[in-house]
Amino acid sequence: MNLDQLRAFVTVAQLGNFTRAAEQLHLAQPSLSRQISTLEQSLGAELFNRARAGSTPTAAGEALLPLARRMLADAASVRREIDELAGLRRGRVRLGATPTLCISLVAEVLSVFHTAHPGVELHITERGSRGLLDDLAGGELDLALITTSGAASAERFTVTPLLVEELVVISSSSAPPLTTQESMDLGDVAALPQVAFSSTYDLRATTDAAFAGAGLTPHTVIEGAEMDAVLRFVERGIGVAIVPAMVLIERSGLRSVRLSAPSLTRTISVARVTDMSPTSAAEVMQQTVVRTAAALAAGSQATMRPA
């Protein structure tokens, strides 16, 4: 019996599916199945009822599950203590962030942190804010960069606002400007061909609510795109999009115009679990996030400000 086998067992028990568990653990499914089979052989009992609809723990599996979770938690605690002793010459930080932040703020943060602490392992999870908070609560992340701080329980999480970022309308720099004015209102934007984000994006919910609140129905030409695809489609002149101002850094193929009546903003925050002391590496990562966000806000005061 080893920790990898126990981690595989707990993940399958949580997800009820070998395929999804293998994806989450970044393993080939045959490798995951061998780990479970080896564990079953060493214990002399089957741990799962395997069926086409999914896998559920047997009585033996149910008995093992709380013990396995405790052993994994103890192992993680030992690793944290050893990492603390080693300082920042080695260690690990598990950082989660929304997709829009992964191509802007996170890229800057990781560059700064890795240069200063090259021996620390960096693990990145890219999800929507609510999913990141679930991962944080489940012990799968040390820190999460979120854009919907209202979704975080004040008792469960410590949420530190970093900056308030303006949302802007982007278009291709090779096309004529959308307006000769400094800003345009939401009604004018609604009439333009829109490249819309996937419904899993927090940003999509924000823009949908803004259009609905103004009694507007946007003219959508592409639906359900991811961030990189949205930017590429707009660069090629297919349509316009409403995006965080920060994503325009080093993108010469795009131009932007500010929104008025109403203007739209989002608050970027860093969250961690309240009742868990961060490791030294996670603490330094949070400090790096705070400093980098402040520097970005200072460099673009027109569209970002400290929270």
| Residue carrying the six token digits 């949070």 | 286
> Using 50, 70 and 90 to split pLDDT, how confident is the model at 247?
confident
276 and 261 part of one domain = no
Helical pair 59-85 and 3-15, crossing angle rounded to 10 deg: 120
What is the identity of the amino acid at 25? L
Which is more confident, 30 or 1?
Answer: 30
Q: Which residues 6+ apart lie within 8 Å of 301 measured at CB?
A: none
- Structural domain ending residue among the three candidates 84, 119, 150: 84
What was the pLDDT predicted at 86? 66
Residue 70 lies in a domain: yes
For 174, the 3-state DSSP assignment is coil
Which CATH number characterizes residue 222's domain?
Answer: 3.40.190.290
* Distance (Å, whole) CA 280 – CA 26: 26
Whether residues 257 and 175 fall in one domain: yes
The Cα–Cα gap between 213 and 121 comes to 44
Q: CA-CA distance, 90 to 75, in Å (whole number)?
A: 17
Cis peptide bond prior to 262, omega within 30° of 0 = yes
Same domain, 170 and 221: yes
Strands (E), the chain: 48-51, 54-57, 91-97, 120-126, 143-146, 157-172, 183-185, 193-197, 219-225, 241-244, 254-260, 265-273, 304-306
The percentage of residues in the chain with a pLDDT greater than 70, rounded to a whole number, is 94
State how many domains the chain has.
3
Token representation of residue 136: 């944080």
Last residue of a domain, one of 28, 51, 84: 84
Residue 177 shares a structural domain with residue 256: yes
Q: What is the mean pLDDT of residues 51-60?
A: 90
Same domain, 153 and 294: yes
pLDDT above 70: residue 152: no
> pLDDT tens digits, residue range 21-41?
999 999 899 999 999 999 999
Q: Is residue 305 a part of any domain in this protein?
A: no
Q: Report pLDDT digits (tens) over 171-216.
A: 999 999 999 999 999 999 999 999 999 888 888 988 999 999 999 9
Token pair of 282 as six digits:
């996670």
Clarify whether residues 65 and 195 are in a common domain.
no
Query: Residues 176, 261: one domain?
Result: yes
| Residue 26 counted as domain residue | yes
| CATH number of the domain encompassing residue 105 | 3.40.190.10
- Clarify whether residues 251 and 239 are in a common domain: yes
Encoded tokens for 173: 């720099």
Please report which confidence band the pLDDT of residue 149 belongs to, taking 50, 70 and 90 as the band edges.
very low
pLDDT at 224 over 70: yes
For residue 148, the enclosing domain spans 94-161+270-299
Q: What is the pTM of this model?
A: 0.68
Q: What is the pLDDT of residues 68-81, one digit of tens each?
A: 998 998 888 777 77
Predicted confidence (pLDDT) at residue 150 exceeds the cutoff of 50? no
145 and 183 co-located in one domain: no
Is residue 306 in some structural domain? no
The CATH number of the domain holding residue 57 is 1.10.10.10
Bridge-based pairing of strands 157-172 and 143-146 is unpaired
Q: Which pLDDT band, with edges at 50, 70 and 90, does 300 fall under?
A: low
* 278 in the same domain as 184: no
Q: Looking at the structure, tell me whether residues 256 and 287 fall in a common domain.
A: no
| Length of the chain counted residue by residue | 307
Classify residue 177 by its DSSP letter. Answer: P
In-domain check, residue 304: no
Closest by Cα among 152, 105, 145 to 125: 145
Tokens 């004529």: give the residue. Answer: 176
Q: What is the pLDDT of residue 246?
A: 85
Q: Is 250 exposed, middle or buried (0-12, 13-18, 19+ CB in 10 A)?
A: exposed
Domain edge (last residue) among 55, 84, 113: 84
Is the residue at 221 inside a domain?
A: yes
In a domain, 307, yes or no: no
Asked if residue 239 belongs to a domain, the reply is yes
- DSSP string computed for 220-247: EEEEEE-HHHHHHHHHTTS-BEEEEGGG
Q: Which residues pair with 50 in a beta bridge?
A: 55
- The answer on pLDDT for 124 being more than 90 is yes
Alpha helices in 86-155 (DSSP H): 99-102, 105-116, 129-137
Is-contact 169 189, C-beta < 8 A?
A: yes
Q: Are 173 and 242 members of one domain?
A: yes
